[in-house]
Structure 1
Amino acid sequence: MSKPITSLPLVGIVRRDGIAYRVTDPVPLDVISGLIREPWCSRLVVTDARSGGACPGEFTAMCVVDGEPFVLVGRIRQR
């Protein structure tokens, strides 16, 4: 990418994590569902929490900002 992304609308602060960007704080489910309506987000995959909540649910989104494609990943905030 030409310049590092540090913040995105809806999800807030992100950091580079290998080949993807990771949201630093868990994101509420209603915010995650809003990602698909954003013009910079084209695909969204959500996984359930496992092991009785010991492993929180996660999401993965395919995104494009300033013409640069990237993967965005993060944890889903538990209620």
Structure 2
Amino acid sequence: MKPIRNVPGLGTARLDHGGVTYRLAEPLTIDEVSGLPREDWCHRLTVTDASADGRYAAEFHAICELDGEPFVLVGRIGEAT
């Protein structure tokens, strides 16, 4: 797997978690996340809630495939900082 992947319309994601997932550096808005299932390269989307105490942001996990290579894309949901 490549250490860096350019994800269409979302930016650059880096290989994370021992080579299992790609993580986006900047959070996506809820509109961007909700649009992922409409992309032909995104096959499954799971969203987790933020923690009640605010310690953990809401996140998404997407099963994707680009150029014939499957991968998992993860990231935070919220406003970019």
TM-score range, shorter chain: 0.7 to 0.9
Structure 1 residues 50 and 70: alpha-carbon distance in aligned structure 2, compared to 1, 3 A threshold: same
Aligned residues: 78
Query: What is the root-mean-square deviation in Å for CA atoms of aligned residues?
Result: 1.7
Mark the runs of 5 or more structure 2 residues left unpaired by the alignment: none
Q: 1 CA distance for matches of 2:28 and 2:53?
A: 19
The residue that corresponds to 1:10 in the other structure is 9
Mark the runs of 5 or more structure 1 residues left unpaired by the alignment: none
Runs of 4+ in 1 over 4 A off after TM superposition: none
Q: Percent identity?
A: 54
Map 1:14-29; keep pairs closer than 5 Å: 14-17=13-16, 18=18, 19-29=20-30
The residue that corresponds to 1:53 in the other structure is 54
